[in-house]
Chains A and B, each alone.
Chain A
Amino acid sequence: SAVISQKPSRDICQRGTSLTIQCQVDSQVTMMFWYRQQPGQSLTLIATANQGSEATYESGFVIDKFPISRPNLTFSTLTVSNMSPEDSSIYLCSVPGSRYYEQYFGPGTRLTVT
């Protein structure tokens, strides 16, 4: 199994500022996924991060707003830029396991923008 940690676990930020969320995995993985979960909603995929290449963003998410880094096979960051209250969400990173039925999620970062 993969163990995922995220930092920070939660934060309260002012509008207009940026926050970088870190995701650390205890094993090497090819793909890492970033999800957003707005209050009371489901998980929505923001982007897929493949080591050594640009992240692939889903419709409605752009690199200028959510830049992602993937410097190695165990680490990724997601930055939420120029935040507004609508960015208040839980942000989760996720990685697949070695078996097809395995998918692991980090504990999430609870972001509140005031």
Chain B
Amino acid sequence: AQKITQTQPGMFVQEKEAVTLDCTYDTSDPSYGLFWYKQPSSGEMIFLIYQGSYDQQNATEGRYSLNFQKARKSANLVISASQLGDSAMYFCAMREGGNNNDMRFGAGTRLTVKP
């Protein structure tokens, strides 16, 4: 069974600084995908970044990058140059196998950006 662990219930970061949100996972399937979502107070799920298990390079999307360490089974999200609008819940998720399979989520990290 797949398992996603986010050990940081809450994180604070100063505006314009970088922050790393931790995520570890456990799976026996060699084919899987790792996702990060942002959920602001409005409740919508906003896709941020994706990393496939066979991808050789770490994924990047604008200010978001994913530090993928396959041997350690970690997929940490790095947000550079934090903005006040980055304050939200952040969820790490994993999907095993094909894209018709379900996605499982970690407990989430609440990020607060301080001015």
Please list the residues of chain A having a beta carbon within 8 angstroms of any beta carbon in chain B.
30-31, 33, 41-45, 48, 90, 92, 94, 96-103, 105, 107-108, 110
Q: Report chain B residues within 8 Å CB of A100.
A: 33, 52, 98-99
Q: Is B43 an interface residue (CB 8 A)?
A: yes
Identify the 8 closest CB pairs spanning chains A and B, nearest first.
Answer: A101-B50, A105-B45, A96-B99, A43-B105, A100-B99, A31-B100, A42-B105, A108-B43
- The CA-CA distance from A114 to B107 in the complex, in Å, is 26
**From B44, which residue of chain A is reached at the shortest CB distance?**
A107
Interface size class of B (residues with CB under 8 A): 20 to 34
Q: Which residue of B lies closest to A48 (CB)?
A: B102
Collect the chain B residues with CB atoms within 8 Å of residue A44's CB. 105
Main secondary structure of the interface of A (DSSP, over half): strand
Ordered by A's residue number, 23 sampled pairs between the chains whose C-beta atoms are within 8 Å are: A41-B107, A42-B105, A43-B91, A44-B105, A45-B103, A45-B104, A48-B102, A90-B43, A94-B45, A96-B99, A97-B99, A98-B99, A99-B99, A100-B99, A101-B35, A101-B50, A102-B99, A103-B47, A103-B95, A103-B99, A105-B45, A107-B43, A107-B44
**A96 x B100 contact (CB < 8 A):** yes
Given known pairs A108-B44, A110-B43, the reply for A103 and B52 (CB within 8 Å) is no
By beta carbon, the residue of chain A nearest B1 is A59
